[in-house]
Amino acid sequence: MTSGVNCRRAAATQRKIQPRHLRNRRDVREPVLLHLNMELTRLPSIPLALALALAFLSTARRCVDASESIIGSRETCDVEGEDFTVDKKIPNTRCFNCICKNGFVECVKQQCPSIEGCYTLLDPPDNECCHRCTGCMRDGYYHESDTTWTDKKDPCRVFTCKSGIITESKLRCYTPCSNPTPAAPGQCCPVCAGCLVNGQKVTAERSVTTTEDPCVTCECNNGQLTCAKQACPTLNCPASKIIHAPGECCPHCRGSRRFLQPPKGACMVGTMLYTSGKQFYADHCTPCTCINSTVSCVKETCPVLECPREYQTAGRCCPQCPIIEESRSSCVYNGKVREDGETWKLDSCKTCACSQGKVRCARLMCPPINEPCPPNTKLERPKDQCCARCVESDGVCRVFGDPHYRTFDGKFYTFKGPCKYQLVNDCVGRTFSIRVTNDARSTKSSAWTKTIAIKVGDLKVNLGQRMRVKVNGKKVDVPYAVANRLDINRTTDSIIVNTQIGIKVLWDGISYLEVSAPSSYRGRLCGLCGNFNSNAKDDFTTRRGRLLTDVQQFGQSWTVGARKACVRARPGNVDGKEGRCKGRKDHRLCNRLRSQIFDACHKKVNPMMYYKACLQDMCECPTEHCFCESFVAYVHECQRLGIQLPHWRKATKCRTVWEQPASLVRRLH
C-alpha cells in the first residue's frame, strides 16, 4: 500500500486549540493546513482579519493530507487483477480501491472531480470522499459549481455557476455559412448544413473553436452545425491568482483554497467580503450583487471577431478588429498564397481556410481527462489524431525456467510438462498459432522450453537453442524478412520475430520466451497463455471450454503431437518437491533477486514469485546457472514498466547465450 507523511498529530493538536481554521490549497495532493487565532464574525473587522489570514498563508506549514494516502505496510498478493478489501480499521480506506498488480496490493484513490481553480472549497461529508466547490442558489434552486443552464423563456440567456458566483450572459451566434436555417423553437442560434468549420470537421464527440476567437464553440448534431459564443464566468480568486493562457478562451484561477464560511448571507469574492444586497463591480464592465451568499453578475458577451488575434485591439470592455481598407480574394499564410475557398491542415488538431482574403482557422477541442484509464488500458494519442484517449494495452505472456508461465491476464503458475504444447492460438480467426516443445534436460521431474514453432498463414518459423532460426524448414541467417509478412531480428541477448498481424515473439535462445499480442486479439486467444480477456480467474480453460483448478490437468489438456514428442511419461509433480530442494546455496544464489542489484524495480514488481520460481529451478538444475532464468524474466517485467537495470548481468554473472560455452548448452539440452 502507499504510505504518506503523517500530519494527523500536528493537525489534531491545533484543532484542540482553534475553533475555526482557514486552509489554502495550491494542489489537491499537497494541502496546506492553516489555523487562525481569531473568529471572523464582526463585519467591521473583516479587512484586518483578512489581511492577517493572507499573511498567515505565506508562512503556513505544508504536509500531506491524511485522506490522500493510506498509512500502513505494503502487502503482497498472488492473483493478478484480484480485488482486495482493506481492513476497515485502517483510516481512509473507504476512498480507495485496491487490486493485485505485479505481486503487490496497489490502492488507488477514487477519482474526484477537479477542484483546480476553486477558492471556496467545502470539506466532504463523512460518507463521501471528494471535496466540493461551493455552488450557487438562484430562484430557490441549488446549482453545482461549473454547471451551465438556460433561461426557460429565453434560450439565448445563459447562466454559469462558478465557485459561488453566477454569471448571466447572452449567447452571440456565429454562422459560418451563407444560408443558415433559422433557429428551431427552444434554440438560440441558426444552423448550417454540414459540419465543417474552416476546413475542420466537427463531430458529435468533438467540438471545434476558431483560432480568431477561441470563445466561439461549434457543435454538430444530426449533420447540422451550430456555433455560439458565451461570456467567460466571473472568477472568485484574487487578481494575482488569475491566469489567461495564450490561445485559451477564458482565464482561470491558479490553485484552490479552503476558507472560513463568511457570516450568514455574506459573499466572499477574492479578498473582499460583501453583505447580502450589496452591489459592486467585479471589473469595470461586470456589475454584481451579493444575494444570500451567492454572487450574481451580469456580463456582456463580446462580438465574434474574424480578424487574426494579433491584429485585434483592446476596447473598453471587448477587443475589436481594425477597419479593413481593401478587400482581397486570395490569402497569404506563412509566405504562401492561398486561393479563396482553399483549406489546409496545420497539424492533427488545427485546420485553416482562405475566405475572401482572410485566413480563418479552427482548432479541435479535446475533452478533459478527469479519470484514470481503466485496468489493462493506457492513455495514448493515436497517430495522426488530435486527442489522447484510453486505449487497450498489448497483452504479454511469459515462459521461463522449469516452465513457469505468466499469462496474458497475469496468472502465474508452474507446469513441468515434458511434451509439446499449444502455447497460444487464435481460436477465433485462426490467424496464427505458437507451440512449444519442452525438454527434461535428463531430469526426473523438471522441464525447460527447448524449441518454439510459430505458424502465421503458410509461414512456419522455428526458434531453437543458441538462437537457431528456420523458416519453412530451412535454416536462415538473421536479420531475415518476408515482405509484408514478418521480419526476424537479433539483439545482444534475444531473437525477435515481428509479424504483420501484430504478434511479437521474443526468445533468448535458452529458456525465456515472451509473446506479445495487440488488443485486437483480446478475448480471441487460448492455450497455456490463457484467453486474454482481462480476467485471470478463467485462464485455466481447456481446449473444450472447461474451466479447471488443477494445473496439471489444465496443462495436459493443451498437449499436441504424438506421444513420441514427450521425453517422459507424465509431468513431474511440483507439490512436495520444492521443500526438499531448498539448500543454502540455492537460497544464496536466488536471494540476489531481493538484493540491491534489482532494488530499482522492487517497488513496482514484487520479486517474491520470481524468487520462488528460482528455488524450483535450482531443484534439479544440471548446472549452477538455472537461477539466471528467473532473473531474466524479472528484468523483462521491469523493462516493460520502463525500469532499466543495465548492470544486472555483470553483478549476477548471468551470461547471454552467446557468452555461454557450447559444452554448457549441450548439457542443458
Q: Which among 28-42, 73-87, 140-154, 559-573 has the top mean pLDDT? A: 140-154
As a whole number, mean pLDDT of residues 580-587 equals: 66
List the grid coordinates of 605.
514488481
Q: How many helices (H) and strands (E) does the chain have?
A: 10, 49
> What's the pLDDT score for residue 513?
94
Q: Does residue 286 have a pLDDT over 80?
A: yes
The DSSP bridge partners found for residue 142 are 137
Indicate the residue type of 599.
D
Least reliable range by pLDDT among 24-38, 226-240, 626-640 = 24-38
> What's the pLDDT score for residue 586?
76
Least reliable range by pLDDT among 155-169, 200-214, 429-443, 474-488 = 200-214
Q: Does residue 562 have a pLDDT over 80?
A: no
**What is the C-alpha to C-alpha distance for residues 607 and 602, in angstroms, rounded to an integer?**
7
As a whole number, mean pLDDT of residues 451-457 equals: 94
Percent over 70 (pLDDT), the chain: 81
Q: 117: phi > 0 → left, psi -120 to 50 → alpha, else beta; which?
A: left
> What's the pLDDT score for residue 359?
84
> What's the pLDDT score for residue 640?
85
248 — pLDDT class (breaks 50, 70, 90): confident
69 — pLDDT class (breaks 50, 70, 90): low
CB 290 within 8 Å of CB 275? yes
Q: Does residue 34 have a pLDDT over 70?
A: no
Q: Does residue 58 have a pLDDT over 50?
A: no
Percent over 90 (pLDDT), the chain: 34
> What's the pLDDT score for residue 552?
92
**What is the C-alpha to C-alpha distance for residues 405 and 411, in angstroms, rounded to an integer?**
8
Return the residue matching grid coordinates 509566405.
335
Count other C-beta atoms under 10 Å from residue 655's C-beta: 16
List the grid coordinates of 381.
494519442
Q: Are strands 336-338 and 331-333 parallel, antiparallel or unpaired?
A: antiparallel
| pLDDT greater at residue 389 or residue 487 | 487
**What is the C-alpha to C-alpha distance for residues 33 and 312, in angstroms, rounded to an integer?**
44
Q: Are strands 104-109 and 121-122 parallel, antiparallel or unpaired?
A: unpaired
Cα separations (Å) of 122 from 73, 291, 305, 658? 31, 20, 39, 64
Q: Find, among 326, 648, 264, the residue nearest to 493 by Cα.
A: 648
| pLDDT greater at residue 9 or residue 186 | 186
Q: Which among 198-207, 259-268, 432-441 has the top mean pLDDT? A: 432-441
DSSP string, 122-164: EPPPTT----EE--EEETTEEE-TTEEEE-SS-TTEEEEEETT
As a whole number, mean pLDDT of residues 192-211 equals: 82
Q: Does residue 14 have a pLDDT over 80?
A: no
As a whole number, mean pLDDT of residues 633-657 equals: 87
CB 8 within 8 Å of CB 15? no
Is 436 buried (19+), middle (13-18) or exposed (0-12) by CB count in 10 A? buried
The model's pTM: 0.57
66 — pLDDT class (breaks 50, 70, 90): very low
Cα separations (Å) of 129 from 63, 116, 125, 627? 19, 16, 8, 46
Calculate the average pLDDT of the chain. 80
Sign for the pseudo-dihedral over CA of 609, 613, 616, 618: negative
For 64-116, what is the HEC assignment? CCHHHCCCCCCCECCCCCCEECCCCCCCCHHHEEEEEECCEEEEEECCCCCCC
Per-residue pLDDT reduced to its tens digit, 593-621: 888 999 899 888 888 889 989 988 887 77
Q: Does residue 42 have a pLDDT over 70?
A: no
570 — pLDDT class (breaks 50, 70, 90): low
Return the residue matching grid coordinates 527447448.
450
